[in-house]
Chain A
Amino acid sequence: MPIDKDIVAKVSNLARIKINNDQLSTISNELESVIEWIDTLNEVNTNGVEPIANVSGQKLPLREDKVTDGGYSEKILNNAPEKESGFFVVPKVVE
């Protein structure tokens, strides 16, 4: 699967990472070689094999749907690059 500069530009936009134009061709070459290598997985017959995400064999515990935490917005905002009146500040998004 060839990965050209347009694909890298599209993926970097999806990932919200600003990449300089002069880096696009290096990255597309590197991604292409990694994806080619990953394509070796196609040699494996996985018909009827379940995809697996949980490897511990442990059942995920359930708990009551109750609030058990909270009430410290001050602490949470401590690391915010910009805050005002108990809120995170972002650029204006609605006109």
Chain B
Amino acid sequence: MTEITKKTILEIKEGLKKRDFSALEVTKAFISASEKNKNLNIYNTFTPEKALESSKISQQRIDRGEERLLDGIPIAIKDLFCTKDILTTASSKILSNFIPSYESTVTQKLWDAGALMLGKVSCDEFAMGSSNETSCFGNVINPWSKRNGKNLSPGGSSGGSSSVVSSGSALAATGTDTGGSIRQPVAFCGVTGIKPSYGRCSRWGIVAFASSLDQAGPITKTVSDSALMLNVMSGFDDKDSTSADLDVPDFTQTCNDFKLDKVKIGIPKEYQIDGMSPEIVKLWQQGSEWLKDRGAEIVEVSLPHTKYALPTYYVIAPAEASSNLARYDGVRYGLRNSQDNLDELYAYSRGEGFGYEVQRRILIGTYVLSAGYYDAYYRKAQRVRNLIIQDFQKAFDKVDVLLTPTTPTAAFELGSQLDPISMYMNDVFTVPASLAGLPAMSVPSGLSEDGLPLGLQIIGNQFDENSVLKIAANLENQASFPFLN
């Protein structure tokens, strides 16, 4: 059975079709891998019985030759997606007893395609964090920790989603990305993930953090598997007015295109920052060489407002969060700290229910939106955001995609990043594409001297996921990354 958990989605699909194994056997293999990896603290809610039950329905369809795209594929769901009748906590004490009466659009699409749910996996509280340490259920451990004997962070916020795939406990997971929450943890855990263009996937039923930035995306081992998942997850939804009313192309079509003649790859010079580890610089150059070998032209480009992206993000994201999280009031759902006075009921419920990082961000957001500061901070950040978008537009007049590192360092030790700004710096390469709503993907491309995974990021033009996937597939093909499982 160990064999099964090392396979990709495409390999499992083929094996199911050829009757090499059954959907039940596949499901049992991933359930037992999940149990074996219990020490990694990945699951907030484990639902093996649900996966087993659905595997029978998948098998019946496979037997009839009527299999759907993801029939018999066990996946994990970030605990930020509402799942009907199944606990959905956002890894927060304030939602620790919340059982949705509805299903998010993205997860519904996955179940309709035959995917099987292994459970809900951990993340930073309300997706606010870059280490998975802000979860009220404690941090997830990066599966690569056992390689060098340190307790490493899986990154965040989609730390559980990245660890569950990296440890071979699920074939894929859903993630969400607001400023890098898919790309940074997949880089830390040595797996692959894409944040599609803003609007590509419906946000309906996903616990909101920052509505102008939040996007769902898949986390898998390979680029082709991500493309397949994205085919299922994408599409217009009339329940999310910001979802894009555009045709969804077949994202798998460019994943086997290894000719890069006439492709122009931009290298943004402003991404060469102080404090970046030399091995990451080396990997970045290696990535350029790999693409050049396939016929691509490498072009230096400039994104002059890059250094203002993080401070812009830390105005806009907390501002939107402070509005979105106003709904947790101790009255309609979630934790309540009973008081005699209504204002105190709100304040004590929120003081008890929100963790420290979430409180800090709500306070920042409230401050920048408060009377007298709105124009100085929030409006200003929205204007700088416009300049950051224009930088990208100018770059994409010259090149097809951009190649950058995903993170400035490999995975760090749990508990090692103490002040907020150094933690926020983890997202220095991922935040700009988020602010511009662009598709961006991280591919595991090499190992550090300590033997830890390093990722390269490909950023594409708006709604041009296919170019991103094509370049990602080329890097993957050249890198031959040594997956943990």
Q: How far is the CB of B103 from chain A (nearest CB, A)?
A: 13
- Main secondary structure on B side of the interface with A: helix
Contact A51 B382 (CB under 8 A): yes
Contact of B385 among A17, A52, A60, A72 (CB under 8 A): A52
**In chain A, residues 55-95, which have Cβ atoms closer than 8 Å to a Cβ of chain B?**
55-58, 60-61, 63, 72, 75-76, 78-82, 88, 90-91, 93
Most A C-beta atoms less than 10 A away, residue of B97, B322, B363, B435: B363
> Does B437 interact with chain A (Cβ within 8 Å)?
yes
Q: How far is the CB of A54 from chain B (nearest CB, A)?
A: 7
Contact of B308 among A41, A63, A80 (CB under 8 A): A41
Q: How many A residues touch B, CB cutoff 8 Å?
A: 51
Contact A38 B238 (CB under 8 A): no
Bitwise, A19-39 to B at CB < 8 A (1) or not (0) is: 100000001001101110110
List 11 additional contacts besides A51-B382, A93-B342; criterion CB under 8 Å: A8-B363, A15-B362, A18-B351, A44-B383, A49-B384, A49-B387, A51-B379, A52-B383, A54-B242, A56-B462, A81-B336
Q: List 30 A-B contacts (CB under 8 A).
A: A3-B367, A14-B370, A15-B350, A17-B359, A18-B348, A18-B350, A18-B351, A19-B351, A33-B421, A34-B364, A35-B364, A37-B311, A41-B381, A44-B383, A44-B384, A46-B387, A52-B389, A54-B242, A55-B198, A56-B199, A58-B245, A61-B245, A63-B238, A79-B97, A79-B98, A81-B330, A81-B331, A81-B334, A91-B341, A93-B342
Closest 4 CB pairs of A and B: A18-B351, A51-B382, A55-B437, A79-B333
> Which residues of A come within 8 Å of B, CB atoms?
3, 7-8, 11-19, 27, 30-31, 33-35, 37-38, 40-44, 46, 49-58, 60-61, 63, 72, 75-76, 78-82, 88, 90-91, 93
> Which residues of B come within 8 Å of A, CB atoms?
97-99, 101, 197-199, 212, 238, 241-242, 244-246, 305, 307-308, 311-312, 314-315, 322, 329-336, 338-348, 350-352, 354, 359-360, 362-364, 366-368, 370, 377, 379-387, 389, 419-421, 435-437, 462
